[in-house]
Amino acid sequence: MAETLSPCSPRGQCQPSMGANASSANMDTNASASMVGGSAWRGREPFSVFTVLILTLLVLLTVATFLWNLLVLATILRVKAFHRVPHNLVASTAVSDVLVAALVMPLSLVKELSAGRRWRLGRELCLVWVCFDVLCCTASIWNVTAIALDRYWSLTRQLQYTLLARRRISNVMIALTWLLSAAISLAPLLGWGETYSPEQERCQLSQDPSYTIVSTGGAFYLPLCVVLFVYWKIYKASKFHMWGRRRNAVVPLPEAAQPCLVSEGADRDIHPEE
């Protein structure tokens, strides 16, 4: 007689049947599916009211920055009276701010919206974003510094700082501003530090210590010191000019003394000195 197969071995050790294996596999599949679905649902949770408000303000700020600086450029280009110093320096500042609003701020907003602030747009776009971020922000800061220097020289060197010299010096300052900004922004592309990490999906400025010192010094601390020093000198020069005007001004006599002067003048006309 053929023996019937039982799920238990002759030694008394029971083994799971095919139905039990299938049911356990289904349970594991359902559990994993529920975990994946739960994590996907958590990743798709709606934003809070505060987050929506912040994002709305950032979008409005980006649009306002772009339109305002575009309006400044259009005004300078259309009005011929503005085709001179210092409006060329203002136009250079507006160009840098327009590039920030058009290329840097939208990608920054996309990065803020991603889960964990991760960069999912690839290495090439990361390099472009970081390069334009450093380029435009540095150029904007140095343009403000150039405007401060132009005001100081026009106030303290009125005879030497003629219209022709002012135009040449302003063009040189604009060229140096963009060259310095390009040198600082393109350094990571030439191997000075790394900006993109594919493992962590992170896109940021180069964290190399030497580049951090050079970039922050050349893009922020140095122009800050120049602007503070220049405006302090402008304040002293303006105060000196105001003091000189007050000293040389003709002070009118009080009304009580005016009749005495009139009577003295009349007496001199009647009795002239011999």
What count of other Cβ atoms lies within 10 Å of the Cβ of residue 102? Answer: 16
Name 225's bridge partners.
none
What secondary structure does DSSP assign to 79-120, as a single string? -GGGSSTTHHHHHHHHHHHHHIIIIIHHHHHHHHHSGGG---
Its pTM stands at 0.70
- Domain assignment present for 81: yes
Return the closest-CA partner of residue 148 out of 36, 53, 226, 50.
Answer: 226
- Domain assignment present for 251: no
> pLDDT tens digit string along 113-149?
876 778 888 888 999 999 999 999 999 999 999 999 9
Q: How far apart are CA 256 and CA 262, in angstroms?
A: 11
- Domain assignment present for 68: yes
- Domain assignment present for 24: no
Question: Mean pLDDT, consecutive 10-residue segments, the chain of 274 residues?
Answer: 45 46 46 42 58 88 95 93 87 95 91 80 89 94 95 86 89 96 91 82 86 92 95 88 66 53 50 49
- Domain assignment present for 235: yes
Assign residue 59 the CATH number of its domain: 1.20.1070.10
| Tally of domains within the chain | 1
H or E stretch including 3? none
Q: Which domain holds residue 199?
A: 49-244
- Domain assignment present for 197: yes
What count of other Cβ atoms lies within 10 Å of the Cβ of residue 165? Answer: 13
- Domain assignment present for 78: yes
Q: How far apart are CA 49 and CA 162, in angstroms?
A: 57
